Structures are given as structure tokens and as C-alpha cells.
Copies of this chain bind each other. A is one copy, B any other.
Amino acid sequence: MSEIRTPHKDAYGLILEAIDVGIYRPGDRLVESELAERFGVSRTPIREALQRLETQTLLIRDGRSLIVGALDHNQLSELYAVRAELEGLAARLAAQHGTPEEVRVLRKMISADRKLIDDPEALSLANRRFHKQIHLASHNRYLVQQLDLVHRTMALLATTSLAVEGRSQGALDEHDAIVTAIENGNGDAAYAALKKHISMAFETRLELDADQPEFSGSL
């Protein structure tokens, strides 16, 4: 209750947030001393955080130093392939092992999210929570862990695919189909519905990237 200014986020969270906010963009080089000064700590905790981020491939080595990872088209494609499979598995397991309480929470989320249909910002956050809830309902800690990694990697992408006009409605309908399958305990249907959902999201992102003026890819 004492520290309001600094909620004691460690260097890991601080750097992650700095990347999220856009202070550091893909391709930027991260200098330890600079980060240390920015956050008012020594280089030691910075180094620990950087190493953690490196093992998660959010940062990649360029010679001796670290730069913020970038996702080119190939990487995006590969990432979505893995994500589709893992999310599909999560849905299947959620249908099989999810508790009634967990499933009801999912159902409630959809109802609540329909009211946010015009607020892309809030909808993006709600979307994360929805998927996270499915992950947890799978009751598989390794799956949760791996999906966390996937989602963190996707944080390297600036914009959310929900920003595309009209995508919100479709996404919510897909969410509905997923939850319905889970409610019915139909693992195969849940697996298929979530895979389809990820496929649509990927397709939307590709359209989004195609419209961008493209100032990526540079080193």
C-alpha cells in the first residue's frame, strides 16, 4: 500500500511494457546501460530480464548485442501454424476437462464482449482474456505456458487484427461457436472451431499487413 508510483514491476515487465508501448521497436538495439538508467536500476537486473526475453526469442542476438525481434511474413506464418494447433488443443482439452464454472465464465464473457463491439481497444483486451480463459480451462500447465509464449511473441506486432473493420462481429460469432462446442463437451468440434477462428484471424492480419505502407523488414 506504500508504493503507488512503482508497483514493483521488475525489469522484465518494464522492458516488455516499453516494447509494447513502442519505445523500442522491432530491430532496435537494446543497450544495457541505457535501460538501466531509464529504469533507475543497475545493469544486473536489466541483464537478467534481457536474458529471459532472449530465451523467449522476443529479443535476438545481433553479434554481441540484443535487438528487438521482428516478425517477417515467414515467421508470422510459422507462428500462426503453431498457434492454431496449440489453441485447438486447448479447446479440445477445455471441452473434455473444463469445469462447469469455467465454461459458464466463457459464456458470460461473450455476452459482455458484445457490448464492447465499438471499442477496439477494450475488445482487444477482452479477446486476450477470453483466450486465456480457454487455456486455463484446459488444465494443462505446459499448454498454458507454451501459449503464453506464443502470445508474447505476437506482442511484437504493433496492431491487433481486431482493428479491421467488421472483424469484431465475426470474431465474436466464432467465439460463440467455440464456447458452444465446449459446452457440449464436443472436443473435436471445439478443436475445429478454434482452429478456424485462428485461421480467420491470420487471414485478417495478412490483409492488414498488405494495406500497411510497409516500413518493416529493415534491419
Q: Is the beta-carbon distance between A81 and B89 smaller than 8 angstroms?
A: yes
Query: Chain B residues with Cβ under 8 A from A81's Cβ?
Result: 89, 93, 140, 142-143
Q: Is the interface of A mostly helix, strand, loop or mixed?
A: helix
Copies of this chain, complex-wide, total 2
Supposing A52-B51, A55-B56 touch, asked if A78 and B141 sit within 8 A by C-beta, the answer is yes
Minimum Cβ distance to chain B for residue A115 (Å): 35
- A131 to B78 Cα, complex, angstroms: 19
Q: Is the beta-carbon distance between B85 and A145 smaller than 8 angstroms?
A: no
Query: Chain B residues with Cβ under 8 A from A47's Cβ?
Result: 48
Partner of A146 from B55, B140, B146 at Cβ < 8 Å: B146
Minimum Cβ distance to chain B for residue A183 (Å): 22
**Ordered nearest first, which 7 A-B pairs have the shortest CB separation?**
A78-B140, A85-B89, A82-B142, A52-B55, A82-B143, A79-B142, A48-B51
Q: What are 23 of the A-B contact pairs (CB < 8 Å)?
A: A47-B48, A48-B48, A48-B51, A51-B51, A51-B52, A52-B52, A57-B145, A75-B142, A78-B139, A78-B140, A78-B143, A79-B142, A81-B93, A81-B142, A81-B143, A82-B86, A82-B89, A82-B146, A85-B86, A142-B150, A142-B153, A146-B146, A146-B149
